[in-house]
Amino acid sequence: MTRPMPKSADISTLHGTPAVPGVVAAPTVRPAPRIRIDTDTEPVAVADRESEVHALHRAARSVAERLHDRATTSTGVAAEVLSANAAMAADRGWLGTAEDLIGTGMHAARALVAATDQFVDMFRTLGGSMAERATDLRDVCDRVLAELAGTPEPGIPTPERASILVSDDLAPADAAGLDPNLVVGLATSLGGPTSHTAIIARQLGIPCVVAVDGLDEIAAGMKVLLDGSTGRLLLNPDPETAARAVTAYCASVDRTTRWTGPGATADGHRVEVLVNVQDGAGARTARRVPAEGVGLFRTELCFLDRESEPTVEEQMTCYREVLDAYPEAKVIIRTLDAGSDKPLRFVGHSAEANPALGVRGYRIAARESGLLERQLDAVAAAAADNGHAPWVMAPMISTAAEAKAFADPVRARGLVPGVMIEVPAAALMAEAILEHVDFASIGTNDLAQYTMAADRMSPRLASFTDPWQPAVLDLVARTSAAGHRLGKPVGVCGEGAADPLLACVLAGFGITSLSAAATAIAAVGATLATVTIDDCRRAAAATLSTTDPRAARAVARSIIVGDASW
């Protein structure tokens, strides 16, 4: 069915959440519709129920085998997702539920849909990353239904020419199978920047915008200009605008590849550009990008698979690997940030109704006897061996008393104490907190989650947890100002620092360092090098007069890039 064309000029630009940077102009394609199940059928006769069960298992097995085969010819996240979906197609609990329903007289297809509905409800109730599995399961269900009906697998068409794929939400197995030469852009109405679709698009290098409002307005075949860095889609662009936008993006890619650091604006205002790492191997790989040091070493990620607490010796070995990768540079080690989305098995997490608001991060250290002290001993030992004092910061600090309680044992070991500012209370009390420590680093991921009361893992709340939310920017500005009053550095190490445009705004707020994933470093540094600190300050001030992320991005963009053309 053809979709209606947009009727007025005011819907010619659609907005979503940027997920993978890049600018492309191409016609659109849409996936084939899902199979509809006839619910108005006679119950299956008792004698025929066994053959329905067999048909179900045969179909599920074929789908599992096909997904497994595709996993073996894929790499990275795509392979992981395809394997996980293959396992899902063989899941005994899911198929068993469908089998039970067939036993009540339902046809295999209807039973499978009902079983899927039950599991999807359960995933959604559990929330967080489990909610994401709902999309995976629906996709696997659709594939088994197609197999049962003897129709081709549902999913995306193979476009005949380079196209932008437009869809409600892409099934992970479809995302994993995309050919980046033919699918040159991706836009979805659901999903967040950390959804499987976005992660796979990032791995494949396909510019992507998620959570787009009004995506239904795009008819298959309509020409679209997609900007994955700003989250915008221009419908039916005139060829000149499209060509100009693509050329400007190519020029920025060229600048990025030539950027060698150190971090500074065009007029020489220094902003350190640092890298986020999770272990020694990651730190050694990150040496390939021109970061000046490590702005966030997430130590908990070294120990996610541990059943028992790593010994001081074992911890020391891990920490020293990272220090050794940056022998002369600043390294900021974060103490264990366990709990919520990163539970550690060896930490006695008790069951909590709201783990993100529970005993997590520094709050665990304050209750679990000796855990923090042993970690600080390991950091101090690694530093002694290595010969320079790393900075050490605590996650999830909420009060000045916590900052003081953390700083004392850190200083006692000759290390430099700091805190993460991730809780709105900490941002509001930043000056009192900074009195006790030597630096702060703002975690925009959690700061956005707590400021907006929106689960950062929820794909349906991505627009709330956008670091461009003016309320979040306001708290960043206040924290930075507190640092300036006390003459103490305040950096940003959440995802916000990985967005080149936002990086300029953060510099404008007076942020002294930006720390991001290795893949984002060069684009951040290169963009910063194109603007003056005055423009950064003007852009930062302008964002505070806006009331939503879209307006904040637009006003910053018009000052930093000078592009308000679409």
Please report, as ranges, the residues that interact with ligand PEP according to CB under 6 A.
Answer: 296, 298, 337, 422, 443-446, 493-494
SS3 state of residue 192:
coil
SS3 sequence of 117-185: HHHHHHHHHHCHHHHHHHHHHHHHHHHHHHHHHCCCCCCCCCCCCCEEEEECCCCHHHHHCCCCCCEEE
Q: How far is the CB of 41 from Mg ion (least distance, A)?
A: 51
Contact partner at residue 493 from Mg ion, ligand PEP, none, CB < 5 to 8 Å by partner kind = ligand PEP
Q: Does 467 contact Mg ion by CB under 5 A?
A: no
Nearest approach, Cβ of residue 436 and ligand PEP (Å): 21
Q: Which of 443, 489, 500, 508 binds Mg ion (CB under 5 A)?
A: 443
Site size toward Mg ion (CB under 5 A) is 3
Number of neighbouring beta carbons within 10 Å of residue 69:
12
Q: Hey, which residues between 481 and 540 contact Mg ion (CB under 5 A)?
A: none
What is the closest distance, in whole angstroms, from the C-beta atom of residue 128 to Mg ion in the complex?
15
Task: Find the shortest distance in angstroms from Cβ 309 to ligand PEP.
Answer: 20
The least distance separating Mg ion from the CB of residue 422, rounded to whole angstroms, comes to: 5
Is 422:448 a contact under the CB 8 Å cutoff?
no
Q: Which is nearer to Mg ion, 362 or 509 (CB)?
A: 362
CB neighbours of 548 closer than 8 A, spacing ≥ 6?
A: 469, 470
Burial of 150 (0-12, 13-18, 19+ CB in 10 A): exposed
Neighbours of 220 (CB within 10 A): 15
Say whether 493 is catalytic: yes
Which is nearer to ligand PEP, 197 or 445 (by Cβ)? 445
Least separation in angstroms between CB 173 and ligand PEP: 27
* Residue 444 contact, options ligand PEP, Mg ion, none, Cβ 5-8 Å cut-off depending on partner type: ligand PEP
Which CB atom, from 298 or from 363, has the smaller least distance to ligand PEP? 298
Please state the closest distance from residue 312 (CB atom) to ligand PEP, in A.
23
Give the range of 4-12, 131-139, 165-173, 440-448 binding Mg ion by CB under 5 A: 440-448
Nearest CB to ligand PEP, comparing residues 170 and 427: 427
Name residue, tokens 């950096």: 491
Bridge partners of 293?
Answer: 330
- Cβ atoms of 414 and 467 within 8 Å: the answer is no
Residue number with the shortest CB distance to Mg ion?
446
185 forms bridges with which residues in the sheet?
Answer: 164
Question: Quick one: 211 or 296, whose CB is closer to ligand PEP?
Answer: 296
What are the respective helix, strand and coil percentages of the chain, to the nearest 5? 50, 15, 35
Token output for 21: 């940077």
| Surface-to-core class of residue 7, CB atoms within 10 Å of its CB (0-12 exposed, 13-18 middle, 19+ buried) | exposed
Catalytic hit among 107, 196, 349, 436: 196
Q: Which of 141, 208, 302, 493 is the catalytic position?
A: 493
In order of 132, 151, 420, 453, 461, the CA distances from 126 in angstroms are 10, 33, 28, 17, 15
Comparison of 426 and 434: residue with beta carbon closer to Mg ion = 426
Q: What is the DSSP letter of 329?
A: S
Q: Which is nearer to ligand PEP, 21 or 494 (CB)?
A: 494
Q: Are 437 and 403 in contact (CB under 8 A)?
A: yes
Output the smallest distance, CB 501 to ligand PEP, in A: 18
**Residue 31 DSSP one-character state:** P
- Which neighbouring-strand residues pair with 419? 394, 440
Q: Is the peptide bond before 262 cis (omega within 30 degrees of 0)?
A: yes
196 is annotated as an active-site residue: yes
Picked from Mg ion, ligand PEP, none, the partner binding residue 469 (CB below 5 to 8 A depending on kind) is: none
Nearer to ligand PEP, 494 or 508 (CB): 494
CA distance 18 to 422: 22
Q: Could you tell which of Mg ion, ligand PEP, none binds residue 556, using a CB distance below 5 to 8 A set by kind?
A: none
How many other CB atoms sit within 10 Å of the CB of residue 533?
20
Cα atoms in the Cβ-side hemisphere of radius 13 Å centred on 240 = 1
- Look at residue 426 and give the partner it binds from Mg ion, ligand PEP, none, a contact being a CB closer than 5 to 8 Å depending on partner kind: none
Residues 413-432 that bind Mg ion (CB under 5 A): 422
Q: What gap in Å lies between CA 315 and CA 342, rounded to an integer? A: 18
Q: Distance (Å, rounded) from C-alpha 286 to C-alpha 157?
A: 37
To Mg ion, the closest distance from the beta carbon of 282 in angstroms equals: 17
Which residue number, 22 or 494, has a Cβ lying nearer to ligand PEP? 494
Q: CA dist 421 to 485, 503, 524, 541, Å? A: 17, 17, 21, 21
Q: Which does 298 bind (CB under 5 to 8 A by kind): Mg ion, ligand PEP, none?
A: ligand PEP
Query: Which one of Mg ion, ligand PEP, none is in contact with 169 (Cβ closer than 5 to 8 A by kind)?
Result: none
Segment contacting Mg ion by CB under 5 A, of 25-33, 149-157, 382-390, 435-443: 435-443
Exposure pattern of 111-134 as b/e (b: 16+ CB <10 Å)?
bbbbbbeebbeebeeeeeeebbbb
**Which of 227, 446, 455, 535 touches Mg ion (CB under 5 A)?**
446
Write down the least CB distance from residue 442 to ligand PEP, Å. 7
* Residue among 493 and 505 whose Cβ is closer to ligand PEP: 493
Residues annotated as catalytic (active site), given as ranges:
196, 493
Which residues in this chain contact Mg ion in the complex, by CB under 5 A?
Answer: 422, 443, 446
